[in-house]
Structure 1
């Protein structure tokens, strides 16, 4: 029997929103849901003494920009496009954000890409096919260097144009190179916010529902994140002020215990 080819997973960690525990959980979820060997590459400058030793550590890609320009998620959408990323040049990689649940088998997803095409989620909050949701995307290292180089050359106008929407910058640069975005099958990816939360004021009374059958990855982009949804809140009380006025109608989330059925380290 021919041994199955390893799959290269990449992720990035900075700041306080997520921790090495979240990295370990993502690693465990992916390994539970694929029959292929997993090479998990984490890019981070944080001190991570409890990181699973099987995870391959790399420093966060250093971009030639000033500290005030190294904001938002451009360190992900631009920094990880380095042509020599982690010594993986010429190899396909699959990026996963830390705020996801792996719900089902990933073998089909890992076998889906063709050639050197770039794949991403069709953004649920955008009209048309010109913005990808960067919770999960895949590319061949060495094909997207221009995304990083263009940002490094003159980041201020890019930040002024896109603000915090760094995935829109990534999408625009991929379209500039390839003429289009290639999207994963729609049924494979669901959004907790758009597909699981009840409508408006019902969020105060109903537990969020499971995503539709066939969902492989559930994304927790924006609010609430995984930690908050599990605890039954919209956002961390010690970080953000409570919603006021009419926003209290929809900025709510009941405790969601089924998350624990998928989100654990083992």
Structure 2
């Protein structure tokens, strides 16, 4: 049985994201699989998904930290007894898009390996990125225990949950083959200013496209960077908006342009 886990909390992503992930798995996983969702709101999640209450972090949230520290609850020793998960489990962020068969993610390397996507924003530092990663349930509880002992210190030293995980796995982490897990902004979106004229491409050999740091797939689908911006905005309208009132970072606004991305319609659906 192939095992997948996701985490949903807050209001950023609704049950439709969980249901969409299940649909993508059904199309791109061979044979039986199980999807477990740790969440603070089970309403609307399709019955095929095993939803459980999201455990508390167990300590104060680090101040002035951008890290998604709540994801560390998956390293707790109680995850297996609570959910029935055991052995290697594949975690997938809800804003990921599965575009090809992912059977290899369940068998790559050793079952005890912690396998992460490479942090493509900082490739020379050999850091992991936890949008898609596999871990052995209950094997490394020291990760969350060390965090709970000094959450602010961990956040100050590492900045992000994924950097802390990279540094904390005994013997070091492993990486997926480089073409499997692609970063939307870095591998799909044309460089500025070509993104004003060309839609994002789907890289050859990609199996999962991740969206860390935005934009969100639901926004890219209709050609905008955030929900606060108009959909299908023309390049000229976006360019003029760079010099409008209320724009504090003009360069950031100028470069954050994305055209509607047709291939998302095909893959990112329930």
Which TM-score tier does this pair reach, normalised by the shorter chain? 0.7 to 0.9
Output the TM-score relative to the length of structure 1: 0.88
Give the structure 1 partner of residue 148 of structure 2.
152
Of 227, 230, 235, 2:221 maps to 230
| Shift, 1:41, TM fit | 0.5
Pair 1:204-2:196 in alignment: yes
Q: Distance in 1 between matches of 2:4 and 2:248?
A: 36
CA contact (8 A) 2:62 2:155 kept: no
Give the structure 2 partner of residue 58 of structure 1.
52
1:98-113 aligned within 5 A? 98-113=94-109
Q: Distance in 2 between matches of 1:158 and 1:67?
A: 11
Of 175, 198, 215, 2:206 maps to 215
Q: Distance in 1 between matches of 2:85 and 2:47?
A: 23
Output the TM-score relative to the length of structure 2: 0.87
Distance 1:247 1:62, change over 3 A: closer
Distance 1:112 1:43, change over 3 A: same
Q: Distance in 2 between matches of 1:101 and 1:260?
A: 11
Give the structure 2 partner of residue 167 of structure 1.
162
| Shift, 1:183, TM fit | 0.6
Question: Number of residue pairs matched?
Answer: 251
Give the structure 2 partner of residue 253 of structure 1.
258
| Shift, 1:217, TM fit | 0.5
Q: Distance in 2 between matches of 1:59 and 1:260?
A: 31
| Shift, 1:67, TM fit | 5.5
Q: Distance in 2 between matches of 1:153 and 1:253?
A: 42
Q: Distance in 2 between matches of 1:140 and 1:151?
A: 19
CA contact (8 A) 1:228 1:234 kept: yes
Structure 1: which 5+ runs fail to align? 1-5
Q: Distance in 2 between matches of 1:194 and 1:247?
A: 16
Of 14, 17, 25, 1:30 maps to 25
Distance 1:244 1:156, change over 3 A: closer
CA-atom RMSD in angstroms: 2.0
CA contact (8 A) 1:44 1:59 kept: yes
Give the structure 2 partner of residue 73 of structure 1.
68
- Structure 1, 63-72 or 107-116: larger mean CA deviation: 63-72
| Shift, 1:34, TM fit | 1.2
Structure 2: which 5+ runs fail to align? 230-245
CA contact (8 A) 2:220 2:260 kept: yes
- Structure 1, 216-225 or 87-96: larger mean CA deviation: 87-96
CA contact (8 A) 1:162 1:168 kept: yes
